[in-house]
Amino acid sequence: MAGKLMHACVYDGSVTGVVGLKHVQVPVPTPSKDEVLIKLEATSLNPFDWKAYKLKALLRPLLARNSPLIPGTDVAGEVVEVGSGVKKFKPGDKVVAILRLIPGGGLSEYGVANEKLTVSRPPEVSAADGAGLPIAGLTAHMALTQYAGLNLDGSGPQKNILVTAASGGVGQYAVQLAKLGGAHVTATCGARNVDLVKSLGADEVLDYRTPDGAALRSPSGRKYDAVVHCTTGVSWSVFEPNLSENGVMIDLTPGAAAMWTCIVKNVTCSGKRLAPLMLIPKDDRNLVCLVELVKERKLKTIIDSRHRLGRAEEAWRKCIDGHATGKIIVEQ
């Protein structure tokens, strides 16, 4: 592929307005020793993609001179070339992968991923369903298994779990995985998504714009053993009365106040805790598990909308708006 050009959307911080994306032709990337080159079929966007772009623009001077900043890390497609050290994959293999966080690469026709962050995609898992999984699915998986202590096979004591913003990319997977783990699930979302979130398995659903929803009060009076908190703007004082004695609030987007609460709760050895979560994918283990669950029809990807690569700015704008129901997919 050396020397071949591809269509890509590069982030151009100098463009005014909300979008900042520009359609260009750039060279197809070359996989290094441990990487695979993937002909992309679908890419899903995450809030991380646009939030990180200000940082990426700052990091620009540190990146390789000709390396374009192309948003998007979560992809599905077909391997077309492999680095000399790659053992697990060969051209023609269908995969789901996480591209390098910087410079990304998802909003283009080809991307390179480390072999360690690439997993096989069986025919039962569509490109769009697979592309939805990496960041959102792994975050939900990590919150529930590592932080909330849930076993996804349902063994272990039953837990009460609250998932906020259950209609979003992370929340939809969190509800489904928590149910697989045998939890009693309370969820919050907007009124228009209550039926959808119930259909994912939530036992009780609160409209976040009602007083009970804003107070996060379980209709059945349960206290939560863990909260997977997938939105912002809710203070610790709202969570605390709703947590069980040793309950943990897992904050995916902790601000300064949350970090301070976390420190205070640790220093005072409080039973109720706030745990900030930061996903840093290191290997393919949990992604293999998620792909397998989709294959077995135990987990599904709710798709908010599909966009062509040529109109990727519509997907980007939707992601920035923060009102997606499930995952936003760009198809190449």
User: 76 with 127: CB under 8 angstroms?
Assistant: yes
For ligand NAP, the closer of residues 188 and 242 by Cβ is: 188
**Binds ligand NAP (CB under 6 A): choice among 43, 108, 167, 186:** 167
| Dist. CA 272–CA 274, nearest whole Å | 7
323 in contact with ligand NAP (CB under 6 A): yes
Site for ligand NAP in 293-322 (CB under 6 A): 322
Instruction: Give me the amino acid identity at 216.
Output: L
For ligand NAP, the closer of residues 28 and 252 by Cβ is: 252
Site for ligand NAP in 218-247 (CB under 6 A): 230-231
- The span of 43-51, 79-87, 97-105, 259-267 binding ligand NAP (CB under 6 A) equals 43-51
171 in contact with ligand NAP (CB under 6 A): yes
DSSP letters spanning 277-312 = ------SSHHHHHHHHHHHTTSS---EEEEEEGGGH
Exposure of 320 by Cβ count < 10 A (0-12 exposed, 13-18 middle, 19+ buried)?
middle
Q: List own/partner pairs for 183-188 with CB under 8 A and 24 or more apart.
A: 183/150, 183/158, 183/159, 184/158, 184/159, 184/160, 184/222, 185/161, 186/160, 186/161, 186/162, 186/218, 186/219, 186/222, 186/224, 187/162, 187/163, 188/162, 188/163, 188/164, 188/213, 188/216
Each residue 267-296 as x (binds ligand NAP by CB under 6 A) or -, in order, gives ----------xxx-----------------
User: Is the bond into 61 cis (omega within 30 degrees of 0)?
Assistant: no
Size of the site for ligand NAP (CB under 6 A): 30
At closest approach, how far in Å is the CB of 121 from ligand NAP?
Answer: 21
168 in contact with ligand NAP (CB under 6 A): yes
At closest approach, how far in Å is the CB of 231 from ligand NAP?
Answer: 4
250 in contact with ligand NAP (CB under 6 A): no
| Dist. CA 229–CA 125, nearest whole Å | 28
**Binds ligand NAP (CB under 6 A): choice among 127, 135, 249, 299:** 135
131 in contact with ligand NAP (CB under 6 A): no
What does the CA dihedral 262, 290, 302, 42 come to, rounded to 10 degrees? 110
At closest approach, how far in Å is the CB of 128 from ligand NAP?
Answer: 15
170 in contact with ligand NAP (CB under 6 A): yes
Residues engaged in binding ligand NAP (CB under 6 A): 46-48, 51, 135-136, 139, 164-165, 167-171, 188-190, 193, 208, 230-231, 252-253, 277-279, 322-325
